[in-house]
Amino acid sequence: MDEDLEQMTQAQLVAEARRLRAGIRQHRDATGDDLCWHHPALWNLLPETAWSQPSVPAWPDFLRGCVRYRQSLSQELPDAPRTGGDRA
């Protein structure tokens, strides 16, 4: 799957690492609702040109996942800045 790396020069590998890091940083620095959106730009950093559409969960399952994600942020980052008026 990553055989293309074997053919790259050192300069090409460094450029690829920088490109991937920029994409990861862009995703990492997303805030608010941007954390919950579909992220094809991140997935398009991979060399595969064909990827399947993601499965879209039903609303109740989706919302439960959002709540679990937000709860994990409270547990893992209790001192992180909060947006809006809610400190919980």
- What is the C-alpha R_g of the chain? 18
Better-predicted residue by pLDDT, 81 or 17: 17
Report the pLDDT value the prediction gives residue 48, as an integer from 0 to 100: 84
Q: What is the pTM of this model?
A: 0.67
SS3 content of the chain, % helix, strand, coil (to 5): 60, 0, 40
Q: Report the pLDDT value the prediction gives residue 84, as an integer from 0 to 100.
A: 78
Q: Which residue has the higher pLDDT, 31 or 82?
A: 82
Q: 34-82, pLDDT tens digit by residue? A: 666 778 888 889 888 777 777 889 999 989 998 998 899 999 999 988 8
